[in-house]
Amino acid sequence: MAVQAATHGPTHVEVGMSRGMAGMVLFIASEIMLFGGLFAGYFYMRNQADAWPPEGVHELDALAGGILTAILVISGVIAHMGVVGAKAGNHSLFILGIVGAIALGTIFIAGQAYEWFNLMDEGLTAKSGVYGSTFFVMTGFHGAHVIAGLAMLLVVFVRALSRDFTPTRHLFVDASVLYWHFVDVVWVFLYAILYVLV
């Protein structure tokens, strides 16, 4: 009736997903609540406003935002191809996917910075009423998360170059790309409420 304890390593039983992925999933859950709070604040403000956007305020360009959205969504698909490559041991597909995602993510951030400066030139700033405040703080929060996601993908890239991952050991790739998908999805919602739902 002896309990079969592990003969090496820690004395745990792995249940379901791996420990690293479980942590990332829970972290993303907390991030969802962060953005959930911001979305709740946004709708609270929007509901009590007389007009949204307030009169005389520069309207956001749904087409430009849509292009940015497409770029980010495509980068998510490409990052997923990278994971497929990592799992299949296809190193060039792996590298291509990660590099493609990083490139498109960088274009997204650059595009957003360009839009921010454009809007500021045209008079919409974080100080111009609660409309500007919500726009800049929410997109700013999201942009910071995109940059964090890019940093993780960069680490994946550097480690991939030194052949740090194998078809069976690629936890950090999975976790980083999962996070990347998360920032994609948040952006789709942000685009929907900030640009489209007028």
Place of tokens 């997903």: 17
Residue 130 makes contact with other proteins by CB under 8 A: yes
- Options 18-26, 72-80, 99-107, 149-157: segment touching other proteins (CB under 8 A): 18-26
The CB-of-143 to other proteins minimum distance in angstroms stands at: 13
The CB-of-190 to other proteins minimum distance in angstroms stands at: 14
Residue 59 makes contact with other proteins by CB under 8 A: no
Selected binder of other proteins within 71, 80, 109, 141 (CB under 8 A) = 141
Residue 197 makes contact with other proteins by CB under 8 A: no
Residue 171 makes contact with other proteins by CB under 8 A: no
Place of tokens 């500007």: 132
Residue 37 makes contact with other proteins by CB under 8 A: yes
Longest dimension (CA), the chain: 78
First to last CA, the chain: 68
How deeply is 182 buried, as exposed, middle or buried, from its count of CB atoms within 10 A (0-12, 13-18, 19+)? buried
Which runs of E-coded beta strand occur in 23-163? Answer: none
User: What token pair was written down for 169?
Assistant: 């050991």
Cα separation, 81 vs 62, in Å, equals 28
- Options 2-10, 62-70, 71-79, 167-175: segment touching other proteins (CB under 8 A): 2-10
Is-contact 164 106, C-beta < 8 A? no
- List residues near other proteins by CB under 8 A: 1-16, 19, 22-23, 26-27, 29-31, 33-38, 40-41, 44-45, 48-49, 54, 126-127, 129-134, 136-137, 141
